[in-house]
Amino acid sequence: GAVVSQHPSWVICKSGTSVKIECRSLDFQATTMFWYRQFPKQSLMLMATSNEGSKATYEQGVEKDKFLINHASLTLSTLTVTSAHPEDSSFYICSGFGAYGYTFGSGTRLTVV
Amino acid sequence: DAKTTQPNSMESNEEEPVHLPCNHSTISGTDYIHWYRQLPSQGPEYVIHGLTSNVNNRMASLAIAEDRKSSTLILHRATLRDAAVYYCILRVYNNNDMRFGAGTRLTVKP
């Protein structure tokens, strides 16, 4: 079946630094990649949608200059959290959409200290 | 956007069937009904999806009401590994958005 590999699975960073999260579709081409954020005991909130080679479309209230998304190829998308603050601590999940439908990554737990 | 309503939580005994309901009274004719589940600290996992007819796969069955305003995910024999949050999601035809509601937290008791 389709697999999306998401790395790192967890990361701790200092306030003010940037963190990059990577998602690769291993055996299919993800024409669209979705990025979600999930706070404890809450549901997944869609942050942005990106199509390969195009600029990402951000949901209302999500700062595009803070959450940089790159989808340069059909198998790789990255989310960079810039100038991270403690309130950005969350579980970030990507999902690739392709021939097999939606496939989710295993998530990245970000802790900003 | 059509929304879904699910109970916050449900309990089941191991090896018994579980029926997880979902109401989607504002569903339109081209909305697909998707079910995903999420285990703790993991990404969501596909369970099943359908449009109008009931669907079966190795994981579960999906029963869709005739008027499509509700559906039920059926786990035929719950195991401890089925303990998760189950999400019922409507996907609009020709729109790739996948937006999650609150879901149902299923607890399976030994």
pLDDT at B1: 55
- Half-sphere exposure (Cβ direction) of B79: Cα atoms closer than 13 Å: 3
Residue A100 has pLDDT above 90, yes or no: no
Q: Is the pLDDT of residue B7 over 80?
A: yes
- B87 chain-A contacts, CB cut-off 8 A: 43
β-strand pairing of B104-109 with B9-13: parallel
Q: Are residues A96 and A103 in contact, defined by beta-carbon separation less than 8 angstroms?
A: yes
Mean pLDDT value across residues B66-95:
93
Q: Residue A51 corresponds to which amino acid? A: N
State the average pLDDT for chain A: 93
Predicted pLDDT at B2:
59
Please provide the average confidence, as pLDDT, over all residues in chain B: 93
CB A27 within 8 A of CB A98: no
Least confident segment among A26-30, A107-111, B57-61, B64-68: A26-30
CA dist A25 and B92 (Å) reads: 24
DSSP A5-55: EEE-SEEEE-TT--EEEEEEESSS--SEEEEEEE-TTS--EEEEEEETTS-
B25 band by pLDDT with thresholds 50, 70 and 90: very high
Are B43 and A93 inside 8 Å of each other by CB?
yes
Residue B96 pLDDT:
74
Interface of A with B in 15-74 (CB under 8 A): 32, 34, 36, 43-46, 49
- Residue-wise pLDDT for A32-81, tens only, equals 999 999 999 999 999 999 988 888 999 999 999 999 999 889 999 999 99
Put simply, whether B87 touches A (Cβ < 8 Å) is yes
Q: Look at strands A45-51 and A57-58 and give their pairing.
A: antiparallel
Residues of A in contact with B102 (CB under 8 A): 43
Neighbouring-strand partners of residue B104: B86
Does the beta-carbon distance from A36 to B96 stay under 8 Å? Answer: no
CA B23 – CA B9 distance, rounded (Å): 15
Inform me whether the pLDDT recorded for B55 exceeds 70.
Answer: yes
